[in-house]
């Protein structure tokens, strides 16, 4: 679940998101600007500004800031849709209460990952490469993130897959070097469900949620 922050905060093991960090405001010119690029930029800039606000750990100010970060993430990333697509055929096998429990847990895990970005100290540059429309009609915004790993230059390609919901664009998948969150989660969920069933998946998610620093 660490890859979640390499997109909205760079730090991950199997999932990225939007992109923001203490110095992520260093943005290279976009090759092509469109509504998708504008939406991603706005989401990243909003989160960047929030993460720049350094407050004391555990303070009321940090808790208030965490709420704002969660709201920002929820407004841009459609976690419910991401989870539903990741569950694929398993989704329709669940009861409504099971679907709700799963979506609530996944949302909490992902949003908590972003909140931990409040204590991150990252510096990288975002280049907006351009945007296209895929065969399904989704807008795909391509970016390139340049940072350092162990003191050496490091870059990663991040693509945001957006769909229009009402009057705004929201991301339902984010791909890092061609591998998406939906794909990563689907493989993980399928493996756990095949071995331990849906209850086993929920148990693992709850354990992850309760673990410190996850």
pLDDT confidence of residue 17: 35
Reported as a single tens digit per residue, the pLDDT across 1-50 is 333 334 443 323 333 333 333 334 344 454 557 999 999 999 888 887 88
The three-state secondary structure class of 175 is: strand
The three-state secondary structure class of 30 is: coil
**Strand arrangement of the beta sheet that strand 179-180 belongs to:** 26-28, 125-133, 139-149, 152-165, 168-176, 179-180
* Radius of gyration of the chain, Cα coordinates, nearest whole angstrom: 17
Residue predicted with more confidence, 21 or 174: 174
Q: Give Cβ neighbours of residue 39 (< 8 Å, ≥ 6 apart).
A: 76, 141, 162, 168, 169, 170
Distance of alpha carbon 159 from alpha carbon 130, whole angstroms: 10
Average pLDDT, the chain: 81
Reported as a single tens digit per residue, the pLDDT across 144-166 is 988 877 888 888 899 999 999 98
Distance of alpha carbon 102 from alpha carbon 128, whole angstroms: 33
Q: What's the full length of the chain, in residues?
A: 214
Specify whether the CB–CB gap between 144 and 124 falls below 8 A.
no
Of 88-102, 113-127, 129-143, 168-182, least confident by mean pLDDT is 113-127
The alpha carbon of 175 is separated from its chain's Cα centroid by a whole number of angstroms, namely 10
Residue 115 in tokens: 């909140």
Look at the alpha carbons of 78, 79, 80, 86 in this order and tell me if their dihedral is positive or negative. Answer: positive
The hierarchical CATH code for the domain 4-210 is 3.10.450.710
Distance of alpha carbon 179 from alpha carbon 67, whole angstroms: 29
Residue 37 in tokens: 């690029």
pTM recorded for the entire structure: 0.81
Residue 61 has pLDDT above 80, yes or no: yes
């Amino acid at each position: 679940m660490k890859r979640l922050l390499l997109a909205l905060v760079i730090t991950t093991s199997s999932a990225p998101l939007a992109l923001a960090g203490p110095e992520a405001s260093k943005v290279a010119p976009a090759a092509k600007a469109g509504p998708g690029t504008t939406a991603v930029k706005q989401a990243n800039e909003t989160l960047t500004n929030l993460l720049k606000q350094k407050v004391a750990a555990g303070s009321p100010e940090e808790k208030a800031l965490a709420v704002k970060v969660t709201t920002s993430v929820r407004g841009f990333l459609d976690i419910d849709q991401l989870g539903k697509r990741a569950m694929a055929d398993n989704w329709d096998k669940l009861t409504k209460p099971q679907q709700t429990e799963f979506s609530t847990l996944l949302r909490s895990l992902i949003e908590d990952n972003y909140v931990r970005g409040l204590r991150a100290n990252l510096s990288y540059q975002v280049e907006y490469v351009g945007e296209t429309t895929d065969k399904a009609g989704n807008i795909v915004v391509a970016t390139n993130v340049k940072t350092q790993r162990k003191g050496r230059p490091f870059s990663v390609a991040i693509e945001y897959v957006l769909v229009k919901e009402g009057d705004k664009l929201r991301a339902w998948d984010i791909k890092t070097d061609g591998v998406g969150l939906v794909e990563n989660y689907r493989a993980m969920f399928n493996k756990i469900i095949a071995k331990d069933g849906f209850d086993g998946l929920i148990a693992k998610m709850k354990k992850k949620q309760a673990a410190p620093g996850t």
